[in-house]
Amino acid sequence: MRSRFFPLMSFDELNLIDPILSALREEGYTTPTPIQQQAIPQVLEGHDLLGIAQTGTGKTAAFTVPILQILHQTAQVERHAPGRIRCLVLTPTRELAIQIGESFAAYGRHLPKLRSTVIFGGVGQHPQVQALKRGVEVLIATPGRLLDLMNQGFIDLRNIDIFVLDEADRMLDMGFIHDIKRILPKLPARRQTLFFSATMPGQIQELANSILRPNPVKVTVTPVSSTADTVTQAVYMVEKTDKPALLEHVLQDQNIRRVLVFTRTKHGADKVVRTLAKAEISAEAIHGNKSQNHRQRALSNFKAGTTRVLVATDIAARGIDVDELTHVINYEIPNEPETYVHRIGRTGRAGANGTALSFCDEEERAYLQDIQKLIRRQIPVVQGHPYTSSLVAPVPLSGGAPIKRPKGPAGRPPRPGRGPQAGGQARPEGGNRQPNRGAERSGSHAPRPSHAQASSRPEGGAEGAGRNGQRRSRGNNSGRNR
Ligand code: AMP
């Protein structure tokens, strides 16, 4: 995690007990992140919390740390019978559940009387049931498996003091809302509730209102607005119908070893995977419509390097913690500029260099303008690539002709219940038109973005060319090897 996110303050100022402070030191944490600074004291005081923050902000420790302290301190005073579940954390995916379980284990390593276990679907229930029978104070669960084991009588939620609902918007995206509504009545009304979501569409706000006590403490972590210098950025101006072929072309560059490709919709992600499969490029998609098992397998293959390209929607990508991501590709430009910053922050981590490439079509030029304004820099335009089109002009940082916002699906806000990326370009992308092979290609490699130059001119001398004419400026290119 980068230090630029943190104002200076230390964990010692948060009234934490020694066993937890030692654990945090052993984790190498010196400074609490903004959400930790704001949330930890409030949670310790027993307030309900509405946290608007996403993965990567340090939100897991923001709730695990005070929960451990509360459970430890109240156990001493109130003499709770050991082995009763006193804290339930509900989270949408297995990966997040495991990560949260690891956090409880790590920050609670000097509090051995507090035991936690993680339950999720897609695997045999026997070991999970055994762990529950041995007794735990903290249960981290995905909704489906929790309901399953509750219905079988293995889980009793009557002693819950603290309930955490994590990634509420993603829960909604993955269709867990009904499971949650079945679980809620089983929780004691007198409890402390911590509610986290990265976004707050109407349906999530309603859910929060129905779960939290009135006037919860609200903590919002302001979206990041700057991009790391370790990420090289470049944008390809391209017509929408040429994006599949451009992606295939760009992926000829074998320096792109491990790449996360972002699409706005689940449907779009599947379509990209199909395009790449035809080109024999190993790719898998992860999004809310995929099963837990599928997502887990896709992620393991990606981490192991057997899958080179992982295609994800923004919500699904949040849980992914993959080191050594060489590239991020914005196959579609997000309509929220902060999302761009989050996306490209997935590469160039821990001082490593990363590259973020964006494919911008005519309709997305307004989004590109928003992004450039937010990050206060011009993203260099890749010149002379095989799909250059005079119909999609570069976007200057300032000045230039006004850019019209798209009226179609790409510009519409998401429909409630469909997730933030829904309502985007779910339309077919106009086929996989192949360019004239004889006249194109600059070898097998994509242009190096680091050499790309920013330009506000129409590109490549193809100004004014018709759609069927010489509209693409092509370099001295050779054929592509399939
Ligand atoms: P999260 O947003 O909870 O997924 O956390 C993102 C990453 O930040 C995790 O890898 C944590 O281990 C790490 N992290 C959390 N809090 C801190 C901190 N105060 N200092 C350094 N790293 C942290």
Ligand 1 atom 18: residue of nearest CA: 29
How confident is the model over 123-153, as pLDDT tens digits?
A: 999 999 999 999 999 999 999 999 999 999 9
The CB of 435 under 6 Å from ligand 1? The reply is: no
Q: Whose CA is nearest to atom 13 of ligand 1?
A: 58
- Examine the fold and report which residue of 353, 375, 397 is the final residue of a domain before the chain moves on: 375
Q: Can you state the angle between helices 243-250 and 266-278, rounded to 10 degrees?
A: 60
Tens digits of residue pLDDT in 25-84: 999 888 898 899 999 999 999 999 999 987 778 899 999 999 999 999 998 777 777 789
In terms of domains, do 187 and 240 share one? no
Do 150 and 182 have their domain in common?
yes
pTM above 0.85, yes or no: no
For residues 315 and 116, what is the distance between their CA atoms, to the nearest angstrom? Answer: 27
Looking at the structure, tell me whether residues 59 and 196 fall in a common domain: yes
Residues 359, 287: one domain?
yes
Is 37 a pocket residue for ligand 1 (Cβ < 6 Å)? no
Minimal-distance CA residue to ligand 1 atom 15: 58
My answer on whether 170 and 52 are in the same domain is yes
Q: State whether the beta carbon of 59 lies less than 6 angstroms from ligand 1.
A: yes
Whether 319 lines ligand 1, by a CB cut-off of 6 Å, is no
How is residue 91 written in tokens? 């989270």
Is any atom of ligand 1 closer than 6 Å to the C-beta of 103?
Answer: no
- CA 337-429-417 angle, to 5 degrees, is 55
Per the domain annotation, does 116 fall within a domain?
A: yes
Residues 208 and 258 in one domain: no
Of the candidates 226, 143, 212, 213, the residue with the CA atom closest to the CA atom of residue 182: 143
Residue 396 in any domain: the answer is no
Give me the pLDDT at residue 428, please.
28
Convert the pLDDT of each residue in 150-175 to its tens digit: 999 999 999 999 999 999 988 988 88
Residue spans of alpha helices (H) in 33-93: 34-44, 59-78
Q: Are residues 167 and 315 in the same domain?
A: no
Residue 101, token pair as written in the block: 């379980």
Determine, yes or no, domain membership for 466.
no
Mutation probe of ligand 1 site: the residue of 11, 29, 65, 91 with most atoms within 8 A of C-beta: 29
Q: Does a structural domain hold residue 162? A: yes
Count of domains in the chain? 2
Tell me, yes or no, whether 204 and 336 share the same domain: no
| CATH (domain of 117) | 3.40.50.300
Rg (CA), the chain: 24
CA 1 to ligand 1 centroid distance, Å: 6
Q: Does residue 209 sit in the same domain as residue 169?
A: yes
Strands laid side by side in the 283-286 sheet: 231-237, 354-360, 327-330, 259-262, 309-312, 283-286
Residue 61 is assigned to a structural domain of this protein: yes
Assess whether 205 and 286 both reside in one domain.
no
- The pLDDT assigned to 296 comes to 83
Among 348, 375, 402, the domain-final residue is 375
Average pLDDT, consecutive stretches of 10 residues, N- to C-terminus, the chain (482 residues): 53 96 92 92 97 85 98 83 92 92 97 96 95 97 97 96 94 90 96 93 91 95 67 95 97 93 93 96 88 84 92 80 84 90 77 86 94 90 93 85 67 40 31 33 36 31 30 33 28
Rounded (to 5) percent helix, strand, coil in the chain:
40, 15, 50
Instruction: Identify the domain containing residue 66 by its residue range.
Output: 11-213+437-453
- What pLDDT is stored for residue 293 in this prediction? 82
With respect to residue 226, please indicate whether it lies within any of the assigned structural domains: no
- 410 found inside a domain: no
Give the separation between CA 280 and CA 278, rounded to whole angstroms.
5
How many A from CA of 27 to the centre of ligand 1?
A: 10
User: Do 236 and 209 have their domain in common?
Assistant: no
In a domain, 139, yes or no: yes
Both 209 and 280 in one domain: the answer is no
**Closest by CA position to 10, among listed 45, 37, 35, 28:** 37
